Structure 1
Amino acid sequence: MLFANREDAARRLARALAVHDGSNPLVLAIPRGAVPMAKVIAQALHGELDVVLVRKLGAPGNPEYAIGAIDEGGWVYLSPWARAAGADAQYVEGVKRHELEILRARRARYSPLRTALDPAGRVVIVVDDGLATGATMIAALHGLRARGPKKLVCAVPVAPADSLDAVRPYCDELVCLHTPADFYAVGQFYADFGQVEDEEVVRLLADSPAQSRTAQ
Structure 2
Amino acid sequence: MNIPRQLMEYLKQHGPSTIKELMIHLGLSETAVRHQLSSLEKSGWLTKEQRRLGKGRPATVYSLTKASEGLFPKRYPELLDAVLAEAEREGLIERLLEGVAESMARELREKLEGLEGPARLEALLAHMDYGDMLGTLEETPAGWELKAHNCLYYATGQRFEQVCNLPPKVITRATGLPAERPFCQRDGKRACHFLIFKHPV
Same fold (TM over 0.5): no
Higher relative contact order (CA 8 A, sep 6+): 1
* TM-score (normalizing by structure 2): 0.26
* TM-score (normalizing by structure 1): 0.25
Structure with higher helix content: 2
